[in-house]
Chain A
Amino acid sequence: MPPNKSLFLRSTITHADVAIIGAGPAGGHAALCAAENGLSVALIDEQPEPGGQVWRQTSAAILAAPPTPESQAGKALAAALARYGATITHHADARVWQIERIDDDASNRKSSNKKPGNRKLWQLEIAAQEPHTVQARALIVATGAYEYVQPFEGWTIPGVIGLAGATALLKQDLLVPEGDIVVAGTGPLVFYVAAEIDRLGGRLAAIMTVNSRKDWLGALPAMMGRTDLLRRGLGWLTRLRRVPIHWRTAITRAHAHDNHLDALEYRALNGAGTPHGGTHKIKAAMLCIGHGLIPDTRAAQLAGLNLSYAPALGGWVPDLDPDGAPAIEGLFVCGDGRGIRGVAAAVLDGQRAGLQATAFMRADSQATQAAQAALVRPYARAARFGQAMTALSSLPAGLAAITTPQTIVCRCESLTRQDIQDEIDTRAHTHQAIKAGQRAGMGPCGGRFCHKVIGQILKACTGTTSPPPPARPPLRPIPLTTLAPEPARYEDLPLGKPTPL
């Protein structure tokens, strides 16, 4: 096979010292830190602007708007990244779909080059306007988190959106849809979203939070380290003083009219978080609901890391040393993607990863030790606050009762809790076995919205804890036309030898 032919379908390759997946607070600050230390950076992100979900920038349609702390932080990050334009290449609107560890032929030819890790490269396949490949010696995974919603009957009805989803609408296009809005779920995000909806002129019908006032009082000691955020929270409550707040309450069912959300049922919760007492009803055109965040570990898994179960950090997290150091040479994970600790911790964790990648590139473990040590205490403080918020956002065990047997748990395949239980009854006792039998997690979301609830059901039925299925490429659904360019001539396809006769 002529070499030019075998390379025919290969996309353009660009090189960097370090590739970073995700340009949120962690990935963005990892990039800045690496660039400050003289490394070239490929910063790859799905969104048009850096900032991630928390510092999501306004879209091109917004010409002017009052700033928020999040928009200002995002703008500052974008400006800082732009100042390093010569060394940080920001691949915006770009999706990493495959991560491979390959031999570096060029470096292996140079026998003088004996630096550790220099024999291997990370190779990232990118789906973008122009599909291409990035090769780098170090890889920093900063993929953040996505939202968990405990399934309840009707949660698939148009008009029900995630709390984090609501923040995306509010931050990027400053949109509040018409009609009565109910905001519900766990943790501080409920009050942030409600306050933003109110600020942008939306009609709030009610706030329903799973937490009690006592839960919040319990979190006060951890919040004392961040009085700025505490003040901000109190500001939200002041703004929301005219909105009915139902503490220790959960939405238990949504009803549709004409293919759209029409009304919600809600019930008070007992101390375990289980609904008890009477069912109430409220009209609503939109429900924003969320029950905490889940670390997005798929890229880290694809890079080769195993997962461990850490409920206090949001669920399954990549296996790393306690200081976040890599279990695989040249691989670093930072931010909420290795456990939900919040934005302040993510910034510092990103800097830590940037410093570790610098030390790795210099093949000198001492190179950035002092700088890394200086991050330890501020990180611990920030993480303490973040984990207190994670605890407030986490699901009380009893709330699983809102997922009735008829409730859809896998949105992609419309599988109910009963379907999953039926598969378990055939002695399918792992995620993998349930996935195979029912296609749970095989749809376009890749199991991101069902693996947690399936884990709950599995635990309830069998007592076992089973890790989510392994990550498969592509990390997001990608058009075949993007993945595989059309050859000009059929003969250009590098087909190999036929299979044995």
Chain B
Amino acid sequence: MSEPFDIAIIGGGIMGCATALRLADGGMAPIVIEQGDIGRGASSANAGTLSLQIKRVKLMPYALRGHALWESFGQAVGFRKTGGYTLAFTAQEAELLLERQRLKADAGAPIRFISPPEVRTAEPGLTERIAAASFCPADGFANSLLTGRFYRTRLGEAGIPYRTGSPVRAISRDKTFAITTPGEIITARRVLLATGGWLQSTARLLGVDVPVRTRINTVSVTERAPPLLSSQVGHATGLLTLKQKDNGTVLIGGGWQGHPNKEPSHTSMGRVNADTLRTNLALARYALPGLDQTRLLRSWTGFEGHTPDFYPLAGALPGVKDGFVLGCVRGGYTIGPYMGQLMGDFILGREPEMPLFDPARTFMQDSSL
């Protein structure tokens, strides 16, 4: 048997790859084991939104650093800093917007409130029926479809081996971890579980129960349209994201829930629900009336694992020596590259720049849910 790897990272999404890169940088020899393609799960099925306005208050310091990383990735990930507007259409929503964005601004996001006429001057395509709005110049988006190529290339440059099409069937622990995939058994001194929405079933392979559920987020894209929008746009409730890509297609998101799959495939955990899709699209049409002239090309479901308190799992895997877990980062697309760095430092035995999120904590149900 060949020399074991220093660490096997199960899950080749943003979190797993970013951690692998940090570890290799710190002198470790990692391997990434991915059931599908690199960066082709939740990491690319999301809408690519990089908006500080929709990040959770407590995660804002992480989001700011994650955002800076995406900016540094630049063209390779299609980064665009467009500025972003969050809109309220009723008095009730305006109140919600005011309360929420004030807290986020206090947490460090450069968010300010602007008048509806100002919004319409900047974005004449938006509805006239805006009650209140906030603006964040740092907001923008990247092309989440490029995640796979980006991390494939980075792993290659760093000389980090990876396996694709390699779902992990079993993990056993003797002196080292032995990880069984259909093609081979890979041995490693440490293991990091970074399997996103699949964390619960992966952790069970080591006899650990992590309290992870999965949200099935619907994302849609129109065919190419004339210019309708130049900024990232969101909604006071967080139930809508809108952006027009350089090629003219409009991406519509907002976390509307699809049907969970009974047996998740390696590319998807759910299916589109026509009822929630209709509401999502109706809200999008309301915000951006020009969408009435477009056709919908495709809807699909992204997905994100979450814990009962909607905060990440990032740290030692409870009860498993040399086992680690990273996932359930709400806003994981934005924050993921930074969480990977923190996680890498933790595994290297360094003090992470920001605190991690102990997976062994007692989970409080988020009272607002």
Q: Could you list which residues of chain A lie within 8 angstroms of chain B, going by C-beta atoms?
A: 9-10, 98, 100, 123, 125, 133, 423, 426-430, 432-433, 436-437, 439, 442-444, 446, 470, 472-474, 477-481, 483-487, 490-491, 493-501
State whether A500 touches B152 (Cβ < 8 A): no
Q: Do most interface residues of chain B lie in helix, strand or loop, or is the interface mixed? A: mixed
Alpha-carbon gap, A485 to B295, bound state (A): 14
B residues near A478, Cβ cutoff 8 Å: 295-296
Instruction: Say yes or no: A485-B282 contact (C-beta < 8 A), given A9-B275, A444-B297, A500-B310.
Output: yes
A468 → B minimal CB distance (Å): 12
A–B pairs, 18, beta carbons within 8 Å? A9-B275, A426-B152, A430-B37, A444-B295, A472-B298, A474-B297, A477-B296, A479-B295, A480-B222, A481-B292, A483-B296, A484-B279, A484-B285, A495-B237, A498-B100, A499-B239, A500-B310, A501-B103
A residues near B247, Cβ cutoff 8 Å: 439
The answer to whether the Cβ of B348 comes within 8 Å of any Cβ in the partner chain is no
B residues near A123, Cβ cutoff 8 Å: 274
Instruction: Say yes or no: A432-B267 contact (C-beta < 8 A), given A98-B272, A427-B152, A501-B100.
Output: yes
Q: Which residue in chain A gives the minimum CB-CB distance to B45?
A: A436
State whether B164 touches A429 (Cβ < 8 A): yes
State whether B279 touches A9 (Cβ < 8 A): yes
State whether A428 touches B152 (Cβ < 8 A): yes
A residues near B232, Cβ cutoff 8 Å: none
State whether B299 touches A495 (Cβ < 8 A): no
B269 → A minimal CB distance (Å): 13
Besides the contacts A473-B298, A473-B299, what 16 more A-B pairs have beta carbons closer than 8 Å? A10-B275, A437-B149, A442-B221, A443-B223, A470-B267, A473-B277, A474-B296, A484-B279, A484-B282, A486-B286, A493-B282, A497-B369, A498-B236, A498-B237, A501-B57, A501-B100
Per-residue 0/1 for B121-136: is the Cβ within 8 Å of any A Cβ (1 yes, 0 no)?
0000000010000000
Within 8 A of A (CB), among B50-87: 54, 56-57
B residues near A479, Cβ cutoff 8 Å: 292, 294-296
Alpha-carbon gap, A430 to B165, bound state (A): 10
Alpha-carbon gap, A98 to B278, bound state (A): 12
State whether B90 touches A500 (Cβ < 8 A): no
State whether B40 touches A444 (Cβ < 8 A): no
The answer to whether the Cβ of B145 comes within 8 Å of any Cβ in the partner chain is yes
A269 → B minimal CB distance (Å): 36
Q: Could you list which residues of chain B lie within 8 angstroms of chain A, going by C-beta atoms?
A: 36-38, 40, 44, 54, 56-57, 89-90, 96, 100, 103, 129, 145-149, 152-153, 156, 164-165, 221-223, 236-239, 247, 255, 259, 265, 267-268, 271-275, 277-286, 291-292, 294-300, 310, 330, 366, 368-369
A46 → B minimal CB distance (Å): 15
A residues near B223, Cβ cutoff 8 Å: 443-444, 477
State whether B296 touches A500 (Cβ < 8 A): no
With a 10 A CB-CB cut-off, give which of B147, B280, B296 has the most chain A CB atoms: B296
State whether B272 touches A499 (Cβ < 8 A): no
State whether A426 touches B285 (Cβ < 8 A): no
Alpha-carbon gap, A432 to B283, bound state (A): 30
Pick the contact of A490: B129, B153, B295, B299 (CB < 8 A): B129
Pick the contact of B279: A442, A444, A494 (CB < 8 A): A494
State whether A490 touches B145 (Cβ < 8 A): no
State whether B299 touches A426 (Cβ < 8 A): no
Instruction: Say yes or no: A470-B268 contact (C-beta < 8 A), given A426-B153, A477-B223, A479-B294.
Output: yes
A residues near B330, Cβ cutoff 8 Å: 500
Alpha-carbon gap, A430 to B278, bound state (A): 32
Instruction: Say yes or no: A446-B44 contact (C-beta < 8 A), given A432-B36, A499-B238.
Output: no
With a 10 A CB-CB cut-off, give which of A423, A490, A501 has the most chain B CB atoms: A501
State whether B237 touches A480 (Cβ < 8 A): no
A residues near B259, Cβ cutoff 8 Å: 100
State whether B368 touches A501 (Cβ < 8 A): yes
Q: Which residue in chain A gives the minimum CB-CB distance to B89?
A: A490
State whether A499 touches B54 (Cβ < 8 A): yes
Q: When A and B form their complex, which 6 residue pairs have the shortest distance between CB atoms, in order from nearest?
A: A499-B238, A484-B281, A498-B237, A477-B295, A484-B282, A436-B145
Instruction: Say yes or no: A100-B296 contact (C-beta < 8 A), given A436-B145, A480-B281.
Output: no
State whether B298 touches A442 (Cβ < 8 A): yes
A476 → B minimal CB distance (Å): 9
B residues near A436, Cβ cutoff 8 Å: 37, 40, 44, 145-149
Alpha-carbon gap, A474 to B297, bound state (A): 7
